[in-house]
Chain A
Amino acid sequence: GENVEQHPSTLSVQEGDSAVIKCTYSDSASNYFPWYKQELGKRPQLIIDIRSNVGEKKDQRIAVTLNKTAKHFSLHITETQPEDSAVYFCAARTRTGTASKLTFGTGTRLQVTL
Protein backbone atom coordinates (compact mmCIF):
# COMPACT_ATOMS: atom_id res chain seq x y z
CA GLY A 1 0.00 0.00 0.00
CA GLU A 2 0.84 3.67 -0.07
CA ASN A 3 3.40 5.03 2.39
CA VAL A 4 3.83 8.76 2.93
CA GLU A 5 6.85 10.15 4.74
CA GLN A 6 6.89 13.73 5.99
CA HIS A 7 9.76 15.92 7.18
CA PRO A 8 10.54 17.66 9.40
CA SER A 9 8.42 16.58 12.35
CA THR A 10 8.84 20.00 13.97
CA LEU A 11 9.73 23.34 12.43
CA SER A 12 10.28 26.65 14.14
CA VAL A 13 10.54 29.84 12.10
CA GLN A 14 10.47 33.53 12.86
CA GLU A 15 7.52 35.60 11.79
CA GLY A 16 8.00 36.74 8.22
CA ASP A 17 10.32 33.88 7.27
CA SER A 18 9.40 31.05 4.92
CA ALA A 19 8.59 27.48 5.92
CA VAL A 20 8.99 24.39 3.78
CA ILE A 21 7.59 20.95 4.54
CA LYS A 22 8.48 17.96 2.38
CA CYS A 23 6.73 14.66 1.71
CA THR A 24 7.53 11.58 -0.29
CA TYR A 25 5.13 8.88 -1.40
CA SER A 26 5.67 5.34 -2.58
CA ASP A 27 2.74 4.42 -4.83
CA SER A 28 3.13 5.73 -8.37
CA ALA A 29 -0.64 5.32 -8.81
CA SER A 30 -1.29 8.16 -6.35
CA ASN A 31 -2.79 11.05 -8.25
CA TYR A 32 -3.94 13.66 -5.76
CA PHE A 33 -1.99 15.35 -2.99
CA PRO A 34 -3.76 17.56 -0.46
CA TRP A 35 -2.33 19.44 2.50
CA TYR A 36 -4.23 19.90 5.74
CA LYS A 37 -3.74 22.25 8.66
CA GLN A 38 -4.83 21.08 12.08
CA GLU A 39 -5.02 23.31 15.11
CA LEU A 40 -5.04 21.74 18.54
CA GLY A 41 -8.18 19.72 19.16
CA LYS A 42 -9.77 20.77 15.87
CA ARG A 43 -10.52 19.14 12.56
CA PRO A 44 -7.92 18.92 9.78
CA GLN A 45 -8.70 21.69 7.30
CA LEU A 46 -7.77 21.53 3.65
CA ILE A 47 -5.48 24.41 2.75
CA ILE A 48 -4.27 23.50 -0.72
CA ASP A 49 -4.16 20.50 -3.03
CA ILE A 50 -2.48 19.47 -6.26
CA ARG A 51 -3.23 16.84 -8.87
CA SER A 52 -0.68 14.66 -10.57
CA ASN A 53 -0.98 16.48 -13.90
CA VAL A 54 0.17 19.77 -12.35
CA GLY A 55 3.66 20.65 -11.17
CA GLU A 56 2.94 23.66 -9.01
CA LYS A 57 -0.01 25.48 -7.48
CA LYS A 58 -0.13 28.69 -5.52
CA ASP A 59 -2.74 30.33 -3.32
CA GLN A 60 -1.63 33.64 -1.80
CA ARG A 61 1.16 32.81 0.70
CA ILE A 62 0.88 29.06 0.21
CA ALA A 63 2.29 27.02 -2.64
CA VAL A 64 2.69 23.34 -3.34
CA THR A 65 5.10 21.68 -5.77
CA LEU A 66 4.98 18.13 -7.07
CA ASN A 67 7.74 16.06 -8.64
CA LYS A 68 6.11 12.89 -9.95
CA THR A 69 9.36 11.36 -11.11
CA ALA A 70 10.92 11.62 -7.69
CA LYS A 71 7.60 10.99 -5.93
CA HIS A 72 7.85 13.97 -3.68
CA PHE A 73 5.83 17.09 -3.01
CA SER A 74 6.38 20.10 -0.82
CA LEU A 75 4.43 22.83 0.93
CA HIS A 76 5.84 26.34 0.95
CA ILE A 77 4.52 29.04 3.25
CA THR A 78 5.92 32.52 2.73
CA GLU A 79 5.75 35.51 5.07
CA THR A 80 4.72 33.31 7.97
CA GLN A 81 2.43 34.69 10.65
CA PRO A 82 1.72 33.49 14.21
CA GLU A 83 -1.66 32.16 13.08
CA ASP A 84 0.16 29.76 10.76
CA SER A 85 1.28 27.85 13.86
CA ALA A 86 -0.37 24.42 13.69
CA VAL A 87 0.28 20.85 12.65
CA TYR A 88 0.42 20.35 8.89
CA PHE A 89 -0.30 17.02 7.24
CA CYS A 90 0.43 15.99 3.70
CA ALA A 91 -1.53 13.19 2.08
CA ALA A 92 -1.57 11.09 -1.06
CA ARG A 93 -4.65 9.54 -2.60
CA THR A 94 -4.75 6.28 -4.48
CA ARG A 95 -7.99 5.70 -6.30
CA THR A 96 -9.26 2.66 -8.17
CA GLY A 97 -12.77 3.19 -9.45
CA THR A 98 -14.83 4.19 -6.43
CA ALA A 99 -12.28 2.82 -3.96
CA SER A 100 -10.28 5.71 -2.57
CA LYS A 101 -7.65 5.74 0.12
CA LEU A 102 -6.11 8.94 1.43
CA THR A 103 -2.86 8.16 3.24
CA PHE A 104 -1.46 10.83 5.53
CA GLY A 105 2.06 11.73 6.51
CA THR A 106 2.96 11.87 10.19
CA GLY A 107 2.59 15.63 10.44
CA THR A 108 4.81 18.68 10.95
CA ARG A 109 4.34 20.90 13.95
CA LEU A 110 5.04 24.45 12.76
CA GLN A 111 5.77 27.11 15.34
CA VAL A 112 5.97 30.71 14.17
CA THR A 113 7.70 32.88 16.73
CA LEU A 114 7.54 36.65 17.04
Chain B
Amino acid sequence: DSGVTQTPKHLITATGQRVTLRCSPRSGDLSVYWYQQSLDQGLQFLIQYYNGEERAKGNILERFSAQQFPDLHSELNLSSLELGDSALYFCASSVVGGEGAAFFGQGTRLTVV
Protein backbone atom coordinates (compact mmCIF):
# COMPACT_ATOMS: atom_id res chain seq x y z
CA ASP B 1 0.00 0.00 0.00
CA SER B 2 1.54 3.29 -1.13
CA GLY B 3 -0.62 5.44 1.15
CA VAL B 4 -2.18 7.24 -1.82
CA THR B 5 -5.90 6.60 -2.10
CA GLN B 6 -7.96 7.00 -5.25
CA THR B 7 -11.70 6.69 -5.64
CA PRO B 8 -13.57 5.26 -7.36
CA LYS B 9 -11.62 2.24 -8.61
CA HIS B 10 -13.88 1.79 -11.61
CA LEU B 11 -16.15 4.17 -13.43
CA ILE B 12 -18.35 3.52 -16.45
CA THR B 13 -20.08 6.45 -18.07
CA ALA B 14 -21.54 7.57 -21.38
CA THR B 15 -20.07 9.91 -23.94
CA GLY B 16 -20.74 13.55 -23.24
CA GLN B 17 -20.93 13.07 -19.51
CA ARG B 18 -18.78 14.56 -16.74
CA VAL B 19 -16.98 12.66 -14.00
CA THR B 20 -14.85 13.51 -10.99
CA LEU B 21 -11.93 11.41 -9.82
CA ARG B 22 -10.65 11.82 -6.30
CA CYS B 23 -7.19 11.41 -4.80
CA SER B 24 -5.94 11.57 -1.22
CA PRO B 25 -2.16 11.90 -1.03
CA ARG B 26 0.12 10.28 1.51
CA SER B 27 0.17 11.96 4.88
CA GLY B 28 2.53 14.93 4.73
CA ASP B 29 2.84 15.04 0.95
CA LEU B 30 2.02 18.45 -0.49
CA SER B 31 2.47 17.63 -4.18
CA VAL B 32 -0.11 15.74 -6.20
CA TYR B 33 0.32 14.62 -9.80
CA TRP B 34 -2.22 13.24 -12.24
CA TYR B 35 -1.34 10.81 -15.03
CA GLN B 36 -3.33 9.17 -17.79
CA GLN B 37 -2.48 5.67 -19.01
CA SER B 38 -4.33 4.38 -22.04
CA LEU B 39 -4.39 0.68 -22.92
CA ASP B 40 -0.86 -0.63 -23.36
CA GLN B 41 0.47 2.91 -23.31
CA GLY B 42 2.84 4.85 -21.15
CA LEU B 43 2.11 7.32 -18.41
CA GLN B 44 1.13 10.73 -19.72
CA PHE B 45 1.61 13.59 -17.28
CA LEU B 46 -1.47 15.76 -16.96
CA ILE B 47 -0.94 18.22 -14.12
CA GLN B 48 0.80 18.86 -10.80
CA TYR B 49 -0.50 20.70 -7.75
CA TYR B 50 1.52 21.83 -4.79
CA ASN B 51 -0.17 22.93 -1.58
CA GLY B 52 -3.34 23.93 -3.35
CA GLU B 53 -1.85 25.65 -6.37
CA GLU B 54 -1.25 24.46 -9.89
CA ARG B 55 2.48 24.20 -10.50
CA ALA B 56 3.12 22.23 -13.67
CA LYS B 57 1.02 21.30 -16.65
CA GLY B 58 1.43 18.56 -19.20
CA ASN B 59 -0.74 17.40 -22.08
CA ILE B 60 -4.03 18.05 -20.34
CA LEU B 61 -7.05 18.65 -22.53
CA GLU B 62 -9.15 21.77 -22.03
CA ARG B 63 -12.09 19.49 -21.18
CA PHE B 64 -10.12 18.31 -18.16
CA SER B 65 -9.49 20.31 -15.02
CA ALA B 66 -8.15 19.64 -11.57
CA GLN B 67 -7.87 21.24 -8.20
CA GLN B 68 -6.27 20.60 -4.83
CA PHE B 69 -8.20 21.46 -1.70
CA PRO B 70 -6.98 22.85 1.65
CA ASP B 71 -6.93 19.34 3.11
CA LEU B 72 -4.60 18.45 0.19
CA HIS B 73 -6.88 15.97 -1.51
CA SER B 74 -7.21 16.52 -5.23
CA GLU B 75 -9.92 16.04 -7.80
CA LEU B 76 -9.63 15.58 -11.54
CA ASN B 77 -12.70 16.63 -13.47
CA LEU B 78 -13.27 15.19 -16.93
CA SER B 79 -16.10 16.66 -19.00
CA SER B 80 -17.69 16.14 -22.41
CA LEU B 81 -16.25 12.65 -22.30
CA GLU B 82 -15.26 10.88 -25.49
CA LEU B 83 -14.57 7.21 -26.16
CA GLY B 84 -10.86 8.01 -26.36
CA ASP B 85 -10.85 9.23 -22.78
CA SER B 86 -11.19 5.64 -21.58
CA ALA B 87 -8.03 4.97 -19.63
CA LEU B 88 -6.47 4.38 -16.24
CA TYR B 89 -6.04 7.61 -14.35
CA PHE B 90 -3.38 7.61 -11.70
CA CYS B 91 -2.68 10.05 -8.96
CA ALA B 92 0.72 10.25 -7.31
CA SER B 93 2.08 12.28 -4.44
CA SER B 94 5.47 13.33 -3.20
CA VAL B 95 6.88 15.36 -0.36
CA VAL B 96 7.39 19.10 -0.18
CA GLY B 97 7.95 20.83 -3.51
CA GLY B 98 7.95 17.67 -5.51
CA GLU B 99 11.24 16.55 -4.02
CA GLY B 100 11.80 12.87 -3.57
CA ALA B 101 10.01 9.84 -4.83
CA ALA B 102 6.47 9.93 -6.19
CA PHE B 103 4.13 7.20 -4.98
CA PHE B 104 1.12 6.16 -6.99
CA GLY B 105 -2.42 5.35 -6.02
CA GLN B 106 -4.13 2.25 -7.40
CA GLY B 107 -5.77 4.22 -10.17
CA THR B 108 -9.27 4.80 -11.46
CA ARG B 109 -10.26 2.84 -14.53
CA LEU B 110 -12.57 5.00 -16.60
CA THR B 111 -14.61 3.40 -19.34
CA VAL B 112 -16.59 5.68 -21.65
CA VAL B 113 -19.31 3.90 -23.62
Give which listed residue, B41, B58, B97, contacts A101 with CB less than 8 A. Answer: B58
Verify B104–A102 contact, CB threshold 8 A: no
For A88-114 the 0/1 string (1 means CB < 8 A from B) is 010001010111111111110000000
Shortest CB distance B3–A (Å): 11
Q: Is B79 an interface residue (CB 8 A)?
A: no
Which residues from A are CB-within-8-Å of B56?
99-101
Q: How many A-B residue pairs have CB under 8 A?
A: 66
Q: Is A44 an interface residue (CB 8 A)?
A: yes
Q: Is B2 an interface residue (CB 8 A)?
A: yes
Tell me the chain A residues, 59-114 only, with Cβ under 8 Å from chain B: 89, 93, 95, 97-107
Verify B97–A102 contact, CB threshold 8 A: no
Q: Is B70 an interface residue (CB 8 A)?
A: no
B binding-site residues for A, Cβ under 8 Å: 2, 31, 33, 35, 41-45, 48, 50-51, 55-56, 58, 90, 92, 94, 96-99, 101-107
A binding-site residues for B, Cβ under 8 Å: 34, 36, 42-46, 49, 89, 93, 95, 97-107
5 inter-chain pairs at a CB distance below 8 angstroms, sorted by A residue, are A42-B106, A93-B98, A99-B50, A104-B44, A105-B42
**List of 6 A-B pairs having minimum Cβ-Cβ separation, nearest first:** A100-B98, A99-B55, A104-B43, A43-B104, A98-B97, A98-B50
New A-B contacts (18) at CB < 8 Å, excluding given A95-B97, A100-B97: A34-B101, A34-B102, A43-B104, A44-B90, A46-B102, A93-B98, A95-B99, A98-B51, A99-B98, A100-B31, A100-B48, A100-B55, A100-B56, A100-B94, A101-B56, A102-B102, A104-B43, A107-B42
